[in-house]
Structure 1
Amino acid sequence: MYHVSDSNARAFVEQVLVGNGVPKHNAIIVARCLVEADLRGVDTHGMNRIPSYMARIREGVLDAQASPTIRRISPAVAQVDGHNGFGFLAAHVGMAAAVDMAKNIGIGMVSVKHSNHFGMSAWVVQQALDAGMMSLVFTNSSPALPVWGGKSKLMGVSPIAAGAPAGKSGRPFIVDMAPSVAARGKIYKALRRGDKIPGEWALDKDGHRTDNPAKALEGVMLPMGGPKGSAIAIMMDVFSGVFSGSAFAGHVTNPYDPSKPADVGHFLVAIKPDLFMIIEEFKKRMDYLYQRVVGSNKMSGVDRIYFPGEIEDLNKEKRLRDGIPLVEAEIRALNEEAKRARVAALVATPLPVKTHL
């Protein structure tokens, strides 16, 4: 294992992006979003995505130079066209517009079309939190799991995310979850690292449970809670794909498929938390909720109860201090991209080997 500081990681990602034709101001946004995922422990959606993104640029199915445009529909509604650029950029512009509208009239809603994968949804939620806003963040994605009762890939493992500002506890509410038992990125991570996966995550192409990540990627993910997870995946397609005018019903292109643009859709909402009470009262109520959750009576074997998003916040605190962990194969893949872009290699420090007396 190696570790990389967050500043080195951001600088590295920025220069690889710029070396592949991404304008500097856009590269800064993408790099910040990717490294934020690494800091929060969501390694499946961090800088390890760079090789697949750069491959799509080289294959001509992701426009490195594209910047999103926005069209205001009403005082509370806008639409962003991602123009087949990075999803991070389209979502960033969309949430900024939603926040701006919410500041003025209490709520802002933005539909995003013709976008791409935007990594970890929690960074979009955090953008709203930084502006003092509650939020909802939806996206659709390429087929990976069957609808309940089916056996073929149709719906994406499209995350649903939401957030609300913290009170005195300092821990905001952040939920970011896929409708599958596990995020598909965790299977790609296991494949990269040569690990097995839990047998309840996926089926192989013949419909059998598997702990082999390669076979799982040939098959289907399993929805969490059976029909409940399936319904959430369909809901993401309704609000993100059908509503926006982007691809839907199984037609979003896989980010590892070089045949055509992904055409992903997103749906973003920002809400002022003091619409129905003064902000101090809202935060007081959030504090009470936090204390009730983390102070709940624990089941056998549980040492601590966490508020949604708290574990990721703790990961970030640790990784800001100790660095982002990577394995050698991941560093090698990233430095292959640095070589292609003719930029400096990623600076990584080996973790000390533990000895046992």
Structure 2
Amino acid sequence: MTQYRVTEDSLRVFCQEVFATLGVGMTDAQTVADNLVEAELRGVKSHGVAKMKEYAHKLEIKEFNARPDIKIVREGISSLAIDGDFGLGAVTGKWAMTRCLDKAKRTGIAVATVGKGRHFGMAAFYSMLALKQDMIGIALCNSGPIMTVYGGTSRVLGTNPISIAVPANQEYPLVFDAATSQAAFNRIIVANREEREIPSGWAVDQHGQPTVNAGEALLGAVIPFGGYKGSDLAVMVEVLSGLLSGAFLAAAGGEQPAAKHNGVGFFFGAVHITDFVDTALFKQAVDELIASLKASRREENYGEIYMPGEKEYISRANSIKQGVDISGAVLADLQEVQKRYGLKSILEIITASE
């Protein structure tokens, strides 16, 4: 399948125009575009512009609220409970995380939940907001039931991602961002769109049997990573982001009307480092930790040891220099969106290759 490389700027402008055309305010349109393009830059293709067609459709049918009335419904000294009003996840997520960070500056540590949320894209987009303020950021999210529990074969849990971002000094920040499934569900959607098989162990079909066929996997369920450990982590993310926020319980059946109405839940955390230890010393200690880990003895024939998020930072630097790689299938989706809404912006293609 042909691969294309497009300019970052044209991709960002294109995304902004899509959302603005569908009634999203300009600032919010920029936020969602930043979320999707940042995922592309970091190589997280499953949460990049491959989501654009879906987002546009859900805005059109009003499943996503283009202009949400986001509000704080409960507030404590170091806590916030927020009603996201079914707005685009990137909009409500950034709104909530920004206020969580502001509160942590005053209290040392703060947490925020968001109920009535919608798909919020790459979790690291929110945890990394803390890095600009020399803070530690945490982002969790639940989703509709698309993953099995350990030992089961039916859909009862979301893929429930976890992201933690930690500032460093000279080294790249440490940024962990992973679903609790073997692979993000969106990676299977992309594989199906591109007519590729998926690795063994990612999913089961609708009969509970292992499959490498992406289409069959979409009818079945994804599998937790690491056996019971990933499964149990997913349950705990469900508690913090689903139950604590008042969002639906995936395990109780996300297809039930009342449960579906309550949407997706988010959980954010922020740690003001200076309230615990000198920030400069902490960041230097992170650098030293990274250096010691990367210098450790390696397995035979193993290449470089990478830290959490390091490959994504390298991908980002390369994408900014060379352009953003997108598949022919994703480009076709974007062109379909462009035609459907009569957009003026044009994606600038740098190269195309088989």
TM range (shorter): over 0.9
Describe the SS at the equivalent of 1:155: coil
CA distance in 1, matches of 2:36, 2:261: 21
CA distance in 2, matches of 1:352, 1:203: 34
Query: What's 1:326 paired with?
Result: 326
CA distance in 1, matches of 2:305, 2:261: 42
Matched, 1:207 2:231: no
Q: 1:13 to 1:261 in 2, by over 3 A?
A: farther
- 8 A Cα contact 1:80 1:93, kept in partner: no
**Greater displacement, 277-286 / 61-70:** 61-70
Describe the SS at the equivalent of 1:351: strand
- 8 A Cα contact 2:154 2:208, kept in partner: no
- 8 A Cα contact 1:2 1:348, kept in partner: no
Q: 1:261 to 1:85 in 2, by over 3 A?
A: farther
CA distance in 2, matches of 1:167, 1:11: 33
One-letter amino acid matched to 2:290:
Y
Query: What's 2:161 paired with?
Result: 159
Q: 1:246-285 maps to which residues of 2 (within 5 A)?
A: 246-250=247-251, 263-285=263-285
- 8 A Cα contact 2:248 2:260, kept in partner: no
Q: Provide the alpha-carbon RMSD of the alignment.
A: 1.9
Deviation at 1:348, TM superposition (A): 3.6
- 8 A Cα contact 1:84 1:116, kept in partner: yes
Question: Aligned pairs, how many?
Answer: 350
Q: 1:349 to 1:13 in 2, by over 3 A?
A: same
CA distance in 1, matches of 2:91, 2:197: 34
Relative to the length of structure 1, the TM-score reads 0.93
CA distance in 1, matches of 2:276, 2:353: 55
One-letter amino acid matched to 1:64:
A
CA distance in 1, matches of 2:69, 2:336: 26
CA distance in 2, matches of 1:339, 1:101: 44
Q: Which runs of 5+ in 2 are unaligned?
A: none
CA deviations 1:280-330 (Å, max 9, x no partner) are 211121011110121121112212001100000000000001111112221
- 8 A Cα contact 2:138 2:164, kept in partner: yes
CA distance in 2, matches of 1:150, 1:352: 43
Q: 1:191 to 1:78 in 2, by over 3 A?
A: same
CA deviations 1:220-246 (Å, max 9, x no partner) are 111111111110111111000111111
Query: What's 2:55 paired with?
Result: 53
Give the fraction of aligned pairs with identical amino acids, expressed as a percent.
32
Query: What's 2:26 paired with?
Result: 24
Query: What's 2:136 paired with?
Result: 134
- 8 A Cα contact 1:162 1:175, kept in partner: yes
Query: What's 2:64 paired with?
Result: 62
CA distance in 1, matches of 2:68, 2:253: 19
CA deviations 1:65-100 (Å, max 9, x no partner) are 224223451221112211011011111011101110
Describe the SS at the equivalent of 1:148: coil
Alignment counterpart, residue 104 of structure 2, candidates 99, 102, 105:
102
Query: What's 2:245 paired with?
Result: 244
